[in-house]
Amino acid sequence: MNFWKNKKVVITGGAGFLGKFLVREIKQRGCRSIFVPRSHEYDLRKISAIRRLLKQADPDIIIHAAAVVGGIGANRENPGKFFYDNLMMGVQLIEQARLFQVPKLVAIGTICAYPKFCPVPFKEDSIWDGYPEETNAAYGLAKKMLLVQSQAYRQQYGFNSIYLSPVNLYGPGDNFSLTTSHVIPALIRKCVEAKQNGAPSITVWGTGKPTREFLYVEDAARGIVLAAEKYNKIASVNIGTGQEISIKDLAVLIMKLTGFKGRVIWDASKPDGQPRRHLDVSHAQKEFGFKAKVGLQEGLKKTIQWYVKNHG
C-alpha cells in the first residue's frame, strides 16, 4: 500500500476496458494522483501531445494500456491503422518518458505478438521464434516493437521500462459490438439476443477447433499492478491463467450459461486465427507473485450478468 501512496501515475487508456480496472486497483492500493489522458485532448500519436501530458502530469509511473484493438474481423480490415496507431503511440511515449526521466514505464503488450505456430505453452523466449498469425500480425508486431524498445532503452540508457504480455481479456464493460469485439463478448451477445428473439441458431466464425486462453479483466489489472510494484527486469512476462479451451467448448459453455438452447452454425469460410493460445505463466508467479483467481465459468457468469443488466 505504501508503494502507491505518494506516486503520481499516468494510465494511458485509463478510460477503456482494462484501464478502468487498473485505475480502480491502484486507487484501492492508496494512490491519490492518477491522470487519465483522453484521446480527444491528448492524441498520443503526436509528440507535442505526449510532451504536454508529461509536463502537466509529471508522473512517477506510466502504465501504457492505450491500444487500437479489435477481433479478427477488425484486424483484417484495419491492419495499417492498427500498426501505425499502436506503434506511434508506444514508441513516442517511451522515448518522451525517457527524455522526461520518468522513473518507470509499464508497456502492455499482446499475446498476438507470438508466432502463429508457437510451442505450447508459450514461453516468453518463444516470442522471437516466428511470424505472428496473419490476421493480427500488424497489431502484434507494432506491440512487439515496444518490447524491443524497452530492452534497448534499458541497455543503453538504464531506462526502467518493463513489458507485459496479457492473454485475451474479458469481463464486465467489454466491447460487445459484433463488428469489432473479441470472441467472448460476441458469443455472449449472440446467445442472449438469440434467446430473446427465439432464434434457432447462431453463426460463429471459423471451425471452433482453435484454442484460446482467457483472463478475467480484474485479474489482469491486479497482475499489471503487481508488476508495476515489484518487477524491474529486461525480460517480458506473460500474464494469464495457464488454462486453454477450444472455441467450440467455449461456445457450448456460454450457451449453457445464457440459457440459449439452439445450435451453432460454424462459418468455416471465415478465418480461425491462431491455432492455439496457451501461456506459460510461471514467470509472473515467480517474479511478482501473480496467479489468476477468477475461473472461466465464474468470470463468464459475471460478464453475462453485466451484459444482460446493461444491454439485455
Q: Is the pLDDT of residue 312 over 80?
A: no
Q: What is the pLDDT of residues 7-30, one digit of tens each?
A: 999 999 999 999 999 999 999 999
| Distance, CA of 142 to CA of 165 (rounded, Å) | 13
34-58 mean pLDDT: 97
Q: What is the pLDDT of residues 118-177, one digit of tens each?
A: 999 999 999 999 999 998 999 999 999 999 999 999 999 999 999 999 999 999 999 999
Is 137 within a domain? yes
The count of structural domains within the chain is: 1
Q: Is the pLDDT of residue 1 over 80?
A: no
| Distance, CA of 165 to CA of 115 (rounded, Å) | 13
Closest CA to 186 of 200, 203, 201: 203
**Rounded to an integer, what is the distance from CA 119 to the centroid of its chain?**
21
45: cell is: 500519436
> What is the value of pTM for the model shown?
0.96
| Distance, CA of 177 to CA of 74 (rounded, Å) | 11
Q: Is the pLDDT of residue 38 over 80?
A: yes
**CATH number of the domain to which 159 belongs:** 3.40.50.720
Is 39 within a domain? yes
User: Hey, which residues are catalytic here?
Assistant: 139
* pLDDT of 17: 96
Is 30 within a domain? yes
Task: Say if strands 8-12 and 61-64 run parallel, antiparallel, or are unpaired.
Answer: parallel
Task: Say if strands 245-246 and 211-212 run parallel, antiparallel, or are unpaired.
Answer: antiparallel
* pLDDT of 179: 85
* pLDDT of 111: 93
Is 1 within a domain? no
Is 195 within a domain? no
Q: Is the pLDDT of residue 274 over 70?
A: yes
Give the 3-state secondary structure of residue 163.
Answer: strand
21: cell is: 480496472
236: cell is: 517480458
Is 259 within a domain? no
Is 192 within a domain? no
**Length of the chain in residues, anyone?**
312
Q: Which residue has the cell 491463467?
A: 241
Q: Which domain holds residue 30?
A: 8-173+213-243+276-293
Tell me how far CA of residue 42 lies from CA of 33, 39, 93, 177, 209, in angstroms.
Answer: 18, 5, 12, 25, 41
Is 91 within a domain? yes
Q: What is the pLDDT of residues 201-248, one digit of tens each?
A: 999 999 999 999 999 999 999 999 999 999 999 999 999 999 999 999
Tell me how far CA of residue 65 lies from CA of 21, 70, 283, in angstroms.
Answer: 11, 14, 21
Q: What is the pLDDT of residues 276-311, one digit of tens each?
A: 999 999 999 999 999 999 999 999 999 999 999 998
Query: Model confidence at 181, in pLDDT bands (50, 70, 90)?
Result: confident
* pLDDT of 286: 98
| Distance, CA of 166 to CA of 226 (rounded, Å) | 13
C-beta separation of 13 from 37 below 8 A: no
